[in-house]
Structure 1
Amino acid sequence: MFDRSIMEENSQEIQYCFPNNSLSCFKEVKHEAEYAILYTFISLLCVFTVFLNLLVIISISHFKKLHTPTNLLILSLAVADLIVGLIVIPLMGITFIESCWYFGETFCSLFLFIAFMVVSASLGNLVFISVDRYIAVSDPLRYTVRVTIDKVVCCIIINWLCSSIYSVIILYNTMFYPDTHNRCYGDCSVYFKFEHVVADLIVTFVAPSSVIMSIYVKIFCVAKHQAKVVNSVAGASRSQRKAAKTLGIVVMVYFMCWIPYYIVTLIDGNESSVEFNVTCWILYMNSCMNPLIYALFYKWFRISAKHIVTLKILKPSSEYFDISF
């Protein structure tokens, strides 16, 4: 009698993602309270990420005064973060909570492509932002000539195109030959060899991060020198240094969110471990942090967000409102 009760209890705990499929993955069953907490957290994270990045996108797109090269790069970064909030976080959240992928093999490949693409595009945007800020601080008098809207648009297109190509290359086997990985039905994960993980780490993190950090070291050296010897253009220099400082904080927060993930991936490599899942969600939370940084340091974002929330942008000629910096 006792053995029978144990067997019934185990049969309730062990479930399959697709009970009618013999190749189905196992489904981890959680307590109802745990489901409620996790779904609430994922929902709030999605809503905040989408809402805050939409404020950035609408602000820069709508108000003419915000159509600057730097803001276009910020817009591109916000688009990447918006995609994370709309697609990556919800689907990863459902897969994490349910421990199953319910959206089919084709959409799994598309989802993995999107996830890798936005990560690469985000870091590419930060590289271009760093270069933009270096030119603005080191050569402010010729900045408007050297950095134009057309040049920045070309850089953004190149960034997204290269990110897409790289994602296809790194995910080629996973996307086009999923059966070679012998994964169960209901699984949507990437299987990399250790050398692939190291190569991806170098291409998508170490190399661009090294470029960004070296540029920002130069930026603050130049800014420190200007603060001492250039008093005649103190106002302009102060403005450029403030912008560089703000975007430097964005870069620093990005690194703080991503470095733990890569450390755990290299050391552990187990996608089901607690450490991996915690660092993974810290990584996704980065997408809603950038607008909060803009709100703290950029007066134009606070003013434009107020116009958007109060629906003043629906007024005639609202795109020409004075958005003071």
Structure 2
Amino acid sequence: MSTFTTTTYLLCVAVGCLSVLIMFGNLLVIISIIYFKQLHTPTNYLILSLAVADLLVGLLVLPFSAILAVSSCWYYQDLLCKVRTTFDVFLTASSISNLCSISVDRYYAVCQPLRYRDKINVRVVVIMILVSWTVSAFFAVTVAILGVNQGSNRGCVLFQNNSLAIMGLVFVFYIPTITMLTIYLKILTVAQRQARSIQNVTCQSKKSERKMERKATKTLAIVMGIFLTCWTPFFLCLTFNPLSDYTIPVALMAAFKWFGWSNSMLNPFIYAFFYSWFRSAFRMIISGKIFQGNCVNSKLR
């Protein structure tokens, strides 16, 4: 009993700390983009949508998961399992969809810069965001209705329906991942070609603009890479678990799942590390300067 109590206590503390870090970091991103006019760009609106998904992971998914982990005999555990899984699938699919949208944005910014402002504007970005969240919500509800069972031996099990499992893995993870990797490989090829030709550009402002686009693309590619690093082990286990007659240990699946959720904490640190204007915005918010005067039009450096 004491061991269970200690384990429960440590798990609750760990989940609480992770939830606070996720919510704090992503709130900084959300407030920065909404408040400062300099950050009102189509690319940043996509980052805002991604930050909202990450924030909701810390606010909704982690607490439900902690309750499921520590309460093995709760009367409403089956209902809680479906609620947790609905939010989990919804927010994971939303994150992947937003990352796909960001890759499309970067493709036009780097590969077709002359058409970028026509192809990627605020209206188009809003449509992309709405489509991402709507499709993700529809799929999450479908999974909750058809694909989640409360197994007596395996706990809260996702994708018991094999046909739904295949559809979920293909459409939620594998197709978006292959699409993003293909787009970023194309971007990398074009960026390398631009890097060789940039020396011939005499206009300093044009040269600076190209460097900024390349840096933004590199940063967002790192965001995508870290996302895939965190989530690929879990999705691979989810893929091979039915094929191995569910022989993969539950503890290993759970560890990979928590590793995936921890990704929601990392993106704000990436933005702060690579983007000086996000660092400036974070400092102004944390220090309370935005409450001392009108800083909406402040120049972020």
Do these two structures clear the TM 0.5 threshold for a shared fold by scoring above it?
yes
Match of 1:312 among 289, 293, 301: 289
Q: 1:195 to 1:296 in 2, by over 3 A?
A: same
Q: Deviations over 1:173-225 (max 9, x none)?
A: 358xxxxx5756xx654352333322211110110111100000010101000
- Residues 215, 174 of structure 1: alpha-carbon distance in 2 compared, 3 angstrom cutoff: closer
Q: Which amino acid aligns with 2:68?
A: T
> Would you say 1:88 and 2:61 are equivalent positions?
yes
Q: Tell me the number of residue pairs that the alignment of Structure 1 and Structure 2 aligns.
A: 290
Q: In the alignment, what sits opposite 1:118? A: 91
What does residue 163 of structure 2 align with?
195
State TM-score, norm by structure 2: 0.89
Counterpart residue number, 2:263: 286
Q: Which residue is 2:230 aligned to?
A: 257
Residue 323 of structure 1 and its aligned partner are, at CA, apart by 1.3
Of residues 191, 206, 214 in structure 2, which corresponds to 1:223?
191
Task: Find the partner of 1:138 among 85, 91, 111.
Answer: 111
Equivalent residue in structure 2 for 1:42, among 15, 20, 23: 15
C-alpha deviation, 1:90, in angstroms: 1.3
Over alpha carbons, which structure has the higher Rg?
1
After superposing on structure 2, the runs of 4+ consecutive aligned residues of structure 1 that deviate more than 4 Å are 100-108, 181-184
RMSD: 2.2
Q: SS of 1:135's equivalent?
A: helix
The Cα of 1:169 is off from its aligned counterpart by: 2.4
- Equivalent pair of 1:49/1:287 in contact (CA under 8 Å): yes
One-letter amino acid matched to 1:81? D
Work out the CA distance in 1 between the residues paired with 2:34 and 2:175.
Answer: 31
Q: Provide the C-alpha distance between the structure 1 equivalents of 2:185 and 2:66, rounded to a whole number of angstroms.
A: 37
Picking from 276, 280, 284, the partner of 1:303 is 280
How far apart in 1 are the matches of 2:76 and 2:274? Answer: 40
1:15-60 per-position Cα deviation (integer Å, ceiling 9, x unaligned): xxxxxxxxxxxxxx84333223222211110110000000000000
Q: Closer, same or farther in 2 for the Cα pair 1:252/1:64, shift >3 Å?
A: same
- Contact 1:261–1:283 under 8 Å retained in 2: yes
Distance of aligned partners of 1:234 and 1:99 in 2 relative to their CA distance in 1, 3 Å threshold = farther
Cross-structure match for 2:24: 51
Correspondence list, 1:141-220, <5 A = 141-173=114-146, 188-220=156-188
In the alignment, the residues of structure 2 paired with residue 298 and residue 103 of structure 1 have an alpha-carbon distance, to the nearest angstrom, of 45
In structure 2, stretches of 5+ residues that fail to align are: none
Kept in 1: contact 2:43–2:102 (CA 8 A): yes
In structure 2, C-alpha distance between the alignment counterparts of 1:292 and 1:171, rounded to whole Å: 32
- The amino acid that maps onto 1:218 is K
* Structure 1 runs not aligned, ≥5 long: 1-12, 14-28, 176-180
- Tell me which amino acid in the other structure corresponds to 2:13: T
1:98 to partner: Cα distance: 3.1
1:101 and 1:188 in contact (8 A); partners too = no
Q: 2:102 aligns with which of 129, 136, 142?
A: 129
Deviation per CA, 1:69-91: give whole Å up to 9, x if none. Answer: 00000000000000000010111
Instruction: List per-residue Cα deviations over 1:262-311 (Å, max 9, x = no partner).
Output: 12223334686221111011011010011111111111111101011111
SS of aligned partner of 1:319: coil
Q: Percent identity among equivalent residues?
A: 35
TM-score by length of 1: 0.83
Q: Distance in 2 between matches of 1:94 and 1:172?
A: 21
